[in-house]
Amino acid sequence: MKISILTENSACDIWFLAEWWLSFWLEVNDKKILFDTWYSTVFMKNAEKLNINLNELDYIVISHHHNDHIDWLFNLRLQEKKKIIFHSDILNKLDYERIWYINENFELNITIKPFFITEEIVFLWEIPRINDFELWINTDDNDKMLDDSAIAINTPKWVIVISWCSHSWICNICDYSKKIFNKNIYAVIWWFHLFWEENEIVNKTIDYFQNENIEYLYPLHCVDFQSLNKFYNSFKIKKLLSWEILEIN
């Protein structure tokens, strides 16, 4: 499995761009997946520098309805219709013109249950909120973000979780991934969406990962330095940046 970071809020190479959003390019066996598109062309420019041809993608996966995750989808020009996957509730958040555009330009896979892209790759659909320490993250429109989702990848021994904003919270996402595949988690790649003001949740999330004996944690943006430092002290994590490529066997 190969994961290329097309956009992140920081970069350590002068030839690559960064912005305050996130976009991934996943290659799992023979499938190529673009996960989220963001506000601008940054992910496209970095893809070009990484010699990634977006026209070769098999699926576009949209994590949730927020504009910073979906906006450039409506400017994305591909040579042919591509398959797109998202939670059914996203259609309730888009205006008529955007729904029309998606119908005209993509092959829709609107899910009301976990969607298996292949036997190994599943779009989780709606994440059950089951633990007693993570909170709902409410948006300005008081939406409970039922459409927030993630991807889980099944390997012969473990499960790898890839999450974006984690509005449904990362431990809930991991528990649901374990349930679907009936396996333990090997690696988690995700936006923290954790801040020092939520210190109790930060501590309990660290406890959760320690109890689960997860081998690799790869945090991305939307985290303050205090929380990131706590995770580093506990797990010696490595923060991924724009342009980096992660290979997991």
pLDDT for the residue numbered 118? 95
Name the domain count of the chain. Answer: 1
Question: Could you list the residue range(s) of the whole structural domain that residue 48 is in?
Answer: 2-247
pLDDT for the residue numbered 138? 46
pLDDT for the residue numbered 136? 58
pLDDT for the residue numbered 141? 46
pLDDT for the residue numbered 139? 45
pLDDT for the residue numbered 8? 82
pLDDT for the residue numbered 194? 78
> What is the reported pTM?
0.90
Average pLDDT for consecutive 10-residue bins of the chain (249 residues)?
Answer: 86 78 89 88 90 96 85 88 94 91 92 92 93 66 76 92 88 96 92 77 92 89 80 86 81
Choose among 99, 121, 108: nearest CA to 81: 108
34 C-beta neighbours (distance < 10 Å), count: 26
pLDDT for the residue numbered 226? 85
Per-position DSSP letters for the chain, written without gaps between them: -EEEEEE-S-BSSTTS---SS-EEEEEETTEEEEE---SSSHHHHHHHHTT--GGG-SEEE---S-HHHHGGGGG---SS-EEEEEEGGGGGTS-HHHHHHHHHHEEEEEESS-EESSSSEEE--SPP---SS------TT----TT--EEEEE-SS-EEEEESS-TT-HHHHHHHHHHHHTS-EEEEEEE--B-GGGHHHHHHHHHHHHHHT-SEEEEESSB-HHHHHHHHHHH------BT-EEE--
Spatial CB neighbours of 128, under 8 Å, sequence gap ≥ 6: 172, 175, 176
Q: Which amino acid is at 245?
A: I
pLDDT for the residue numbered 246? 85
CA dihedral in degrees (40, 42, 48, 54; nearest 10)? Answer: -40
Alpha-carbon gap, residue 247 to 249, rounded angstroms: 7
Domain harbouring 127, CATH code: 3.60.15.10
